Structure 1
Amino acid sequence: MPEDPTEPTENISGGGSGGGVAATFDPAAAGTRAEAIIDSLGERYWQKAYGGQDAFECLVRTILSQNTSDTVSQPAHDALMEKYGNQEEDLPTTLMAVPQDELAETIASAGLYNQKSRMIIDAAKEIIDSFGSEAAFDTYVREDDSSVVRDRLLEIHGVGPKTADCVLLFAGGRGGVFPVDTHVHRIARRMGIAEPAADHEQVREAIEAAVPPEKCGFGHTAMIQFGREYCSARKPACLDGPEACPLYALCDRVGIDEVTETVADPSGSVQK
């Protein structure tokens, strides 16, 4: 692993400006296969300890990323911050007063802009009503009991488990939080560290139970990168032979037939 690993900016953590710093621990002898996989990913990509993002901005960023790629959600986030991020009032106070059609136009590149603009405005109103200020929400996310914060975040319109976990990880700096997106859901079941039919929450529970808390943050972002580079949905690298995938020996390849070169979802349904 490089001495100063630089996380690509396309990850939801926000790259070098996202509060990530190089972790100070060395991967120990893995106690589980899931931990061995995370250690291998950390050696290949980065070992970072997260935290420090503004909680509300992180929430907005993650809402914008729902059902789309970072390639299109990042410009929407940048446009929103450029237009509304330097006001005298804090960001949620500013956004709760923005007409929805105006905000929708600003974030149009993220797709589902009418739905997402409603979510963002509703979230801004709820945070101001419940916490009084952006700073108070930050403090709550970073300092209150993690499970209580997660449950409270899930009460906000538009916030699902992945969004809540991203806020806990990237803003709260919480250990033991492993957000599950499409890449993580696919890879964990394909590799055999979660049950083939596990849903997103069951995958999260399986990984968090098997991976030390301090390794969950970089494990999440590194697994996403691995999914982009090697373990794609339609043509994983292992179809090109064992030498093509660096984690071949640690993977059960559930749903993959290397002889016929066919790929099915681990739960049994063929991917389309």
Structure 2
Amino acid sequence: MSEDADPDEGDPEPAENISGGDPSASSFAAFDAAEAGTRAEEVVNRLGDLYWQKTYGGRDAFECLVRTILSQNTSDVASQPAHDALMETYGEDSEATDLAGALADADHDELADTIRSAGLYNRKADVLISVADRVLADYGSAAEFDAFVREEDPEEVRPVLLDFGGVGPKTADCVLLFAGGRGGVFPVDTHVHRIYRRLGIAPADADHEGVRAVLEREVPAEKCGFGHTASIQFGREYCSARKPACLDGLDECPMSDICDRVGVDVESRAVVDPAEATLDAD
């Protein structure tokens, strides 16, 4: 999921969202909050009450991979038109029978121009063509790649995705979550990385993989999906990088009573990355 898309006002997480695909595989579902076993679970429970509790899955794995690559280092406002243009030219809206085959055969400059709105379009065109070549070489088609992502053990799928050039941990985990519908996968973007270190749930100096390890250990598998998407929304609305809501009063943030505010000094209104706060303390 990209970091900057605004939710629909009347329905903040509609059935047709970043996961796309079969609505029955990506639908609202209530989870019993009960008594949280960890502080991380308590945060996710509150986010579920504040925003949404949703299961994910159902998107074609290769298209999900393409879409997530397009969203790297940009917003949905920029990447969505690029995705739509790509699908019209090379995907289901074109005469192509297989998206991977169409992208593998694509002219680099034409593809780059098609996805220009996503930014870094030359590099992303390189990555998309390379990934499409790899999928065809290893699986024969986008459909067979989709079956691999959905059916094989995530512990086998994730290293394969990470071995694709231009695919990092967040991209791999988004494919596992939004296409594979895998429980227990908690993708870590910049919002998630910031929030859970600021809360004091993950170590202040943890990298993205370190935060992911903590969350996937301490949040029940069935809550990781909406935990990821709701955390992103919480990061936009309350726990932003430069001006978290607590600066305007602790009662402005629904997590203030369970937050360590690492890197946030409410009195001086100074805000730094949690890792920098730890260095200063030393």
Whether the TM-score (by the shorter chain) exceeds 0.5 is: yes
How far did residue 25 of structure 1 move? 2.8
Q: For the structure 1 residues 16 and 243, does the alpha-carbon distance in structure 2 shift closer, same or farther, using more than 3 Å as the test?
A: farther
Alignment equivalent of 1:263, drawn from 265, 271, 275: 271
Q: What pairs with 1:225-236 in structure 2 (closer than 5 Å)?
A: 225-236=233-244
Name which of 52, 58, 61 aligns with 2:67: 61
1:128-160 CA-to-partner distances (Å, cap 9, x unmatched) read: 110011111111001101111000111111111
Q: Does 1:76 align with 2:82?
A: yes
1:253 to 251, 254, 261: 261
Q: Distance in 1 between matches of 2:85 and 2:33?
A: 39
Task: Name 2:5's counterpart in structure 1.
Answer: none
Return the letter of the residue paired with 1:146.
P
* TM-fit CA distance, 1:83: 1.7
Within 5 Å, which residues of 2 pair with 1:1-272? 6-7=12-13, 12-14=18-20, 19-86=25-92, 87-268=95-276
Structure 2 CA distance for aligned equivalents of residues 16 and 245 of structure 1: 35
Q: Is the 8 A contact 2:158 2:173 kept in 1?
A: yes
CA distance in 1, matches of 2:83, 2:177: 19
Structure 2 counterpart of 1:154, one-letter code: L
Which SS does the other structure have where 1:268 is aligned? helix
Question: Which one-letter code corresponds to 1:244 in the other structure?
Answer: E
- Seen in structure 2, the aligned counterparts of structure 1 residues 232 and 17 have a Cα distance that, compared at 3 Å, is farther
Structure 1 residue 6, shift from structure 2 partner: 4.5
- Report the Cα distance in structure 2 between the residues aligned to 1:213 and 1:228, rounded to whole angstroms: 24
Distance 2:25 2:85 in 1: 21
C-alpha separation between the residues in 1 aligned to 2:100 and 2:113?
18
Q: Which runs of 4+ in 1 moved over 3 A?
A: 8-19
The secondary structure found in structure 2 opposite 1:48 is: coil
One-letter amino acid matched to 1:123: V
Cα 1:94–1:186 shift into 2, 3 Å: same
Q: How many residues align?
A: 267
Structure 1, 17-26 or 153-162: larger mean CA deviation:
17-26
Unpaired runs of at least 5, structure 1: none
- Corresponding letter in the other structure for 2:72: Q
Q: Secondary structure at the match of 2:184?
A: coil
- 1:28 maps to amino acid: A
Q: Aligned equivalents of 1:196 and 1:88: distance in 2?
A: 48
- Say whether the 8 Å CA contact 1:10–1:71 is kept in structure 2: no
Question: How far apart, in 2, do the equivalents of 1:236 and 1:24 lie?
Answer: 29
The answer (yes or no) to whether the contact 1:73–1:110 under 8 Å persists in 2 is yes
Determine if contact 1:48/1:217 at 8 Å carries over to the other structure.
yes
Amino acid at match of 2:67: R
- Extract unaligned runs of 5+ from structure 2: 1-9
CA RMSD of aligned residues (A): 2.1
